[in-house]
Structures are given as structure tokens and as C-alpha cells.
Amino acid sequence: QVHLVETGGGLVQAGGSLDLSCAASGSIFRLEYMGWYRQTPGNQRELVAQMTRAGIITTGDSVKGRSTISVDSVEKTGFLQINGLKPEDTGVYYCHAFLQPLASEIPNYYWGQGTQVTVSS
């Protein structure tokens, strides 16, 4: 089986930095797309940042100028960094990736289970 696992969430201080990782596990040939989404209290899930295979990056308005997305194609792991954290950054962060498995599983988009991020004021 293939799946995504987010790590790096927890309680952080306002004004600090957040570093999240999204590791793809299983027999995987290629990670084609990586995206980060979040669901903040009282809001629908929204895009934080994404990167296509061609390297085109899209960043959500709420984190423009504060976020960095990157991918390690060898380790098949995605990363998200947010600087200058604000209390409104609090929420559950999810990674989203398109994976090409080596096994019989078909290529498809996968979601991680999410990691809670709480920013103290």
C-alpha cells in the first residue's frame, strides 16, 4: 500500500516558524504533484501552497510572502515552511500528492491524514 504521512505539527509560538513534512510510503516510482491544504476553525479547506511536476508554484493569499514549498524527488517527500506565524494559521494541515506506484495500484491522488497546528497568541 502507498500512503502519505504528515509530520511536524504541534504547538508553536506566534511569530515563529513552522516546518512540515509529507512522506510518501510504499513502493512508489514517482511523486508527480505536491500540495498543502489546511482547514482552519470555521472555514472550509483551503490551499496553502502547491507545486506541479514542472515546478510551477501556487501560494494561497493568506500565506503569500511567508511560505515555502519544496519536494525531494529522491526521498519522495514534500515540505512546507511558514514563517511569521499568526494565530489565524491555526488549523489542520493536509498534504496532497499524485503518486505513481511501482506495484499494481493505479496512479492517483492521495491525501494524508492531517496534522494539527496550533499557534499561540
- The full DSSP string for 14-50 is TTS-EEEEEEEESSEEEEEEEEEEEE-TTS--EEEEE
pLDDT on residue 28:
86
- Residue 88's φ and ψ, nearest 5 degrees, are -70, -5
Grid coordinates given for 12: 508553536
**End-to-end CA, the chain:** 40
Q: In sequence order, what are the residues at sequence separation of 6 or more whose Cβ sits closer than 8 angstroms to the Cβ of residue 43?
A: 91
Q: Tens place of pLDDT for every residue, the chain, 121 residues?
A: 889 999 999 999 999 999 999 999 988 888 889 999 999 999 999 999 999 989 999 999 999 999 999 999 999 999 999 999 999 999 999 999 999 988 777 889 999 999 999 999 8
For cell 511501482, what's the residue?
102
pLDDT on residue 77:
95
